[in-house]
Structure 1
Amino acid sequence: MDDLLPFISLVLLSAGLGIDNGLLIEFSIKTLNLSPKRHAVWRSVALVCAAILRIFFLLILSKLSFLEDPLPDSFWFPNRWFSEHPDDLTWMNLILFAGGLIIIFMALWEFYHKFREELAGHLLPSKNGTSTEIGKVLGVIAYLICMNILFSVDSVFAAVAMMSIETQFWWMISAILLAAFIMVFGMIPISAIIARNKHFGVLMLSVLIVIATKLLIDGTGAHFSNGLLMFIIAMLLINDAAQACIDWADKKGERLSATA
């Protein structure tokens, strides 16, 4: 019982943190325009790789102990500019802050490309060729590796805070693998919703901005709870669903008026 309760809590926490990572993976792979079957396969592979990366970080956690060391007192660390207690910041805070900036940049970049595609009616000139496709794939892989490292470090430290790495190591690994299994199948309905609704892509960008905001706040040493993050994401989803219902009712009303 002493192991079971922390195990269940860690599974739920890892799955909750995995939603952030899952959305990043879903959105990144979607830019490759793969077939639905290949998209699902590569999404699952990416989620499993993220779990393996977490386990790898558990194995070398002692080598990452410097992340908890104090951040040097330097003007060139931007997270210190916004922190109420800059002397309490660690290297881990700097990594989280940098990750938030990266996610915001990628979200805005993807919105820019989506806007151009819609504005030009998908007729924008593009470079064709195998090298371009390979470069795009490699770019997505590099981005996912960086983000997986970021979220893995965060999840691993959360796991260590809940369980003992010396006495409960295999419980921690089991929790990470079970959470990955939940996310592999949990992303299926999320992906289906994104595919059916074009406007949902913009909503996903908003979700990424919220995730980035959490990382930025955590990076300054302040606290942004995962519960609050899930609540905000849920409210965004509910708002988008309500707007979709209103749009559907409006279109149906126009059709009924036209046939009357």
Structure 2
Amino acid sequence: MEGLMTLFADPTVWAALMTLIVMEVVLGIDNLIFISILSNKLPEGQRQRARRVGISLALIMRLALLSTIAWLVGLTAPVFDLGFQGAPGAHGEPSFETEFSWRDLILIAGGLFLVWKATKEIHHNADPNPNDDLFDSPSKTLTFGAAIVQILMLDLVFSIDSILTAVGMTDHLPVMVIAVIVAVVVMFVAADPLANFIHHNPTVVMLALGFLLMIGAVLIADGFGVHVPKGYIYAAMAFSAAVEGLNIWSRRRQAKAAAARGEAPSGITSGE
């Protein structure tokens, strides 16, 4: 206890904690969007439980990884090399890495899964009654157990990314633990409102799936050593979300104006 008091008496530790909490919350947005979209495919009575189980698994996984930091850091060590150099980039360096660590392989696998899942969901939303069996309706086949397995797979990818980010920002384990717990609590609070908002606004579903496609592509690029600054990604997501927010606000104003004139609002359901 005295060690913790001494640690948190240092203002730089508080600055690191605040910065890390913000970073963990931002990184948790990706995880939360996926959990929200996947849980909305379940029957209504199972959705909240799936979200809570998924976020709880994310917390357990992050804390478990924090307890094995030495092993986790070892995941960044190369395990094999393809033996050739990528094409030169703008500054003469290889455009992508040919040495791959376990972290790289996990990020690539997670990115491919995200791209596949988002593409499948976009196909289903664009064509709810497909004729071929390859893209059968997820809502007919997805069970609670299958949803939890998929959430667990992405929890692993996002947890490794999250904890490695934390390790790179501070050497103090208590600071990492507090930041992770606070970020997951924020996810718990935001999960139901976000999922309900996505469910009641169909255009937001497509936007969120587009986010998942972009996040999947970034994970794949990161696995190949092409590091896209996260600030660019989240700035693009925030801009797109702001534009869609203006569209929703405009549609609701048109619906109210139409209702005041006694007209049926075009393209807007009565439940919106």
TM-score interval w.r.t. the shorter chain? 0.7 to 0.9
Query: The residue matched to 1:199 in structure 2 has which SS?
Result: helix
CA positional deviation for 1:246: 4.3
2:79–2:101 contact (8 Å) kept in structure 1:
yes
2:6 paired residue number:
none
Partner of 1:180: 184
Q: C-alpha distance in 2, partners of 1:16/1:258?
A: 42
**Does residue 158 of structure 2 align to residue 151 of structure 1?**
yes
AA in 2 matched with 1:21: N
SS at match of 1:72: strand
Residue identity opposite 1:93 in structure 2: D
Asked whether the equivalents of residues 70 and 90 of structure 1 are also in contact (C-alpha less than 8 Å), the reply is: yes
Secondary structure of 2:44 counterpart: coil
Asked whether the equivalents of residues 61 and 159 of structure 2 are also in contact (C-alpha less than 8 Å), the reply is: yes
1: distance between equivalents of 2:232 and 2:191?
Answer: 21
Distance 1:249 1:5 in 2: 43
In structure 1, C-alpha distance between the alignment counterparts of 2:166 and 2:158, rounded to whole Å: 12
Q: Indicate the SS of the match to 1:117.
A: coil
* Cross-structure match for 2:195: 191
Q: Which has the higher helix share?
A: 1
Work out whether 1:92 is the aligned partner of 2:110: no
Contact 2:50 2:147 in 1 (8 A): no
Alignment of 1:224 with 2:228, yes or no, is yes
Taking every aligned residue pair, what percent have the same amino acid on both sides? Answer: 24
Give the match for residue 129 of structure 1.
none
Which residues of structure 1 form unaligned runs of 5+? 127-131
* Cα distance in 1 between the residues matched to 2:241 and 2:105: 30
1:141 corresponds to 2:148: yes
**Residue in 2 that maps onto 1:2:** 12
CA–CA distance in structure 1, aligned partners of residues 27 and 263 of structure 2: 48
Q: 1:31 aligns with which of 21, 41, 44?
A: 41
Q: Which residue of the partner structure matches residue 58 of structure 2?
A: 50
Any idea what the Cα deviations from partners look like across 1:195-220, whole Å, max 9, x if unmatched? 22122211111111121122122122
* 8 Å CA contact retained: 1:70, 1:87: no
Deviation at 1:65, TM superposition (A): 3.9
Number of residues of Structure 1 aligned to a counterpart in Structure 2: 243
* Greater relative CO, 1 or 2 (CA 8 Å, sep 6+): 1
Note the C-alpha offset of 1:248. 4.4
* Deviation per residue, 1:198-246 (Å, 9 max, x gap): 2221111111112112212212212222222221111221222233344
Q: Does 1:72 align with 2:80?
A: yes
Q: Give me the TM-score of the superposition, normalised by structure 1.
A: 0.80
For residue 236 of structure 1, the aligned residue among 232, 240, 244 is 240
Unpaired runs of at least 5, structure 2: 1-10, 265-272
- The C-alpha deviation readout for 1:84-139, integer Å capped at 9, x for no partner, is 1424553322321221111010011122233343689xxxx98xxxxx87x62222
